[in-house]
Amino acid sequence: MSASPFDPTPQDRFSFGLWTVGNPGRDPFGSEVRPRLSPVHIVKKLAECGAYGVNLHDNDLVPMGSSARERDAIVAEFRRALSDHGMCVPMATTNLFSHPIFKDGAFSSNDPRVRAFALQKTMAAIDLGVELGARVYVFWGGREGVEADACRDPRTAILRMREALDFLCGYVESQGYDLVFALEAKPNEPRGDIYLPTTGHMLHFISTLKHQARVGVNPEVAHENMAGLSFVHAVAQAMEADKLFHIDLNAQKIGRYDQDLRFGSEDLKQAFLLVRLLEGTLGGKRYDGPLHFDSHAYRSEDEEGVWDFARGSMRTYKILKAKAQAFDADPEVRGLIRERRDAALDPLLSGACTPQRIAALKALQLDPDAIAQAGLAYEKLDQLMMEHLMGVRA
Ligand code: DIG
Ligand code: MN
Ligand code: MN
């Protein structure tokens, strides 16, 4: 098959979790539809698709209850596969949600034995991630929440999660690991309400931690959409705070359960605006971390459909990247979004709050009615963007 400019390469930094392409298609209303794929097979196939990395929860690779010898053998085989296929492990994380012990949370559980077990499990999983070369460690608190809100003071839950993360940052420092943490928010599912439900909540929570510099966020498209929020604005706030340490890409229809659909397969306009932001085509810093697809193929698919899903995810991202580059290079677009400059006003709109600036702003003669008359040509701008997206303008 001839090469395409949208074929993924390792330089694109695309990654998938073992649990994503390895999803066997089970859902709350039906059993698995696909055979389970071994981690070694997933590494081989993802490399063939053009991905550069594979991520994992501890138990995606090492089943709970494995002996040390079994664990080491599994890890050795996996590392051989990574080496054979030129793949890396950019991110690792802990499964603190599947085992029944976590039925009422992990770090926020009312049972101190559960909280201790969660810390013990996470330290072992961090060791595994570092051994595999991970530089980012994700925390998704899927069970950190409630149905019966009377069960604990929500402030106690936040306190417990802060204590856990402060301890685990201390652990990473004590081991000398080169590892940062990325906190992933979700508003609900599987719990009725999950604590710290959006990226914005996480950004504030990080500001209360002892080791703030080591902690950032891992926003997910579907999760912010579930909260009815703009994912692009959540990512922009994280980037502006230098806290976008990782990202989970997928697609989501508004008002549904967490669908984890193929990237770009639903709201193409928001996917375009996201890629434009991440790639910096509108100006400003670009994101240079892993581009992780935390999503899975439709339940309708066989294994070949899973790889169609993986290829489609990466291809869509690269197509949108090319379209964003064309859009922001379009002279008509640049003319419409060029920032209005005013030599007289600009000095008054930034810098220190000096007596001179206060006096000058108070003395300004501005005619609000006249200013309000200005048209902004956003209809033309948005139509241009849509025409770039629809392929009738390049
Ligand atoms: C769900 O969106 C969560 C889990 O898949 C995983 O812990 C995390 C890592 O991307 N995302
Ligand atoms: Mn999700
Ligand atoms: Mn995720």
Task: Mark whether 72 and 188 lie in a shared domain.
Answer: yes
Tokens in use for 236?
A: 């922009």
Only one residue has tokens 């074929």, namely 7
Q: How far is the CA of 79 from the centre of ligand 3 (A)?
A: 24
Task: Mark whether 238 and 222 lie in a shared domain.
Answer: yes
Task: Mark whether 166 and 255 lie in a shared domain.
Answer: yes
- Which of 99, 220, 258, 259 to probe ligand 1 with, by most ligand atoms within 8 A of CB? 220
The pLDDT score that the predictor gives to residue 321 is 98
Let me know if residue 347 belongs to a domain: yes
The pLDDT score that the predictor gives to residue 43 is 98
The pLDDT score that the predictor gives to residue 18 is 98
Task: Mark whether 33 and 86 lie in a shared domain.
Answer: yes
Atom index in ligand 1 nearest the CA of residue 139 equals 7
Task: Mark whether 251 and 321 lie in a shared domain.
Answer: yes
Task: Mark whether 263 and 338 lie in a shared domain.
Answer: no
φ, ψ of residue 12 to 5 degrees: the values are -75, -15
Number of domains in the chain: 2
Task: Mark whether 275 and 362 lie in a shared domain.
Answer: no
Q: Digits of tens for pLDDT over the chain (394 positions)?
A: 678 999 999 999 999 999 999 999 999 999 999 999 999 999 999 999 999 999 999 999 999 999 999 999 999 999 999 999 999 999 999 999 999 999 999 999 999 999 999 999 999 999 999 999 999 999 999 999 999 999 999 999 999 999 999 999 999 999 999 999 999 999 999 999 999 999 999 999 999 999 999 999 999 999 999 999 999 999 999 999 999 999 999 999 999 999 999 999 999 999 999 999 999 999 999 999 999 999 999 999 999 999 999 999 999 999 999 999 999 999 999 999 988 889 999 999 999 999 999 999 999 999 999 999 999 999 999 999 999 999 999 8
The pLDDT score that the predictor gives to residue 394 is 85
Task: Mark whether 35 and 181 lie in a shared domain.
Answer: yes
Task: Mark whether 296 and 341 lie in a shared domain.
Answer: no
Nearest-CA residue for ligand 1 atom 3 is: 140
Nearest-CA residue for ligand 1 atom 1 is: 140
Let me know if residue 124 belongs to a domain: yes
How far is it, in rounded angstroms, from Cα 253 to Cα 251? 7
Contact 222, 258 (CB under 8 A): yes
End residue of a domain, out of 312, 329, 346: 329
Q: How many CB atoms lie within 10 A of CB 261?
A: 21
Q: How far is the CA of 227 from the centre of ligand 1 (A)?
A: 17
Task: Mark whether 338 and 235 lie in a shared domain.
Answer: no
Let me know if residue 3 belongs to a domain: no
The pLDDT score that the predictor gives to residue 2 is 74
Nearest-CA residue for ligand 1 atom 8 is: 140
CATH number for the domain including 310?
3.20.20.150
Let me know if residue 170 belongs to a domain: yes
Query: Ion ligand 2 — residues with CB under 5 Å?
Result: 222, 258, 260
Let me know if residue 5 belongs to a domain: no
Residues whose CB falls within 8 Å of the CB of residue 163, separated by 6 or more in sequence, listed in order? 107
> Which residues participate in catalysis according to the annotation?
57, 60
Nearest-CA residue for ligand 1 atom 9 is: 138
Tokens in use for 372?
A: 């309000």
Q: How far is the CA of 161 from the centre of ligand 3 (A)?
A: 19
Residues whose CB falls within 8 Å of the CB of residue 60, separated by 6 or more in sequence, listed in order? 17, 18, 19, 22, 39, 95
Domain that holds residue 318: 10-329
Task: Mark whether 209 and 222 lie in a shared domain.
Answer: yes
Q: How many CB atoms lie within 10 A of CB 391?
A: 9
Contact 212, 226 (CB under 8 A): no
The pLDDT score that the predictor gives to residue 1 is 60
Tokens in use for 352?
A: 């220190």
Which residues line the pocket of ligand 1, CB cutoff 6 A?
17, 57, 93, 138, 140, 184, 220, 248, 294
Nearest-CA residue for ligand 1 atom 5 is: 294
Query: Ion ligand 3 — residues with CB under 5 Å?
Result: 220, 248, 294
Tokens in use for 292?
A: 């992780």
| Nearest alpha carbon to residue 102 among 115, 86, 85 | 115
Q: How far is the CA of 312 from the centre of ligand 3 (A)?
A: 18
Q: How far is the CA of 11 from the centre of ligand 3 (A)?
A: 22
The pLDDT score that the predictor gives to residue 338 is 85
Task: Mark whether 357 and 236 lie in a shared domain.
Answer: no
Let me know if residue 309 belongs to a domain: yes
End residue of a domain, out of 285, 302, 329: 329
Let me know if residue 4 belongs to a domain: no
End residue of a domain, out of 282, 312, 329: 329
Amino acid at 184: E
Let me know if residue 394 belongs to a domain: no
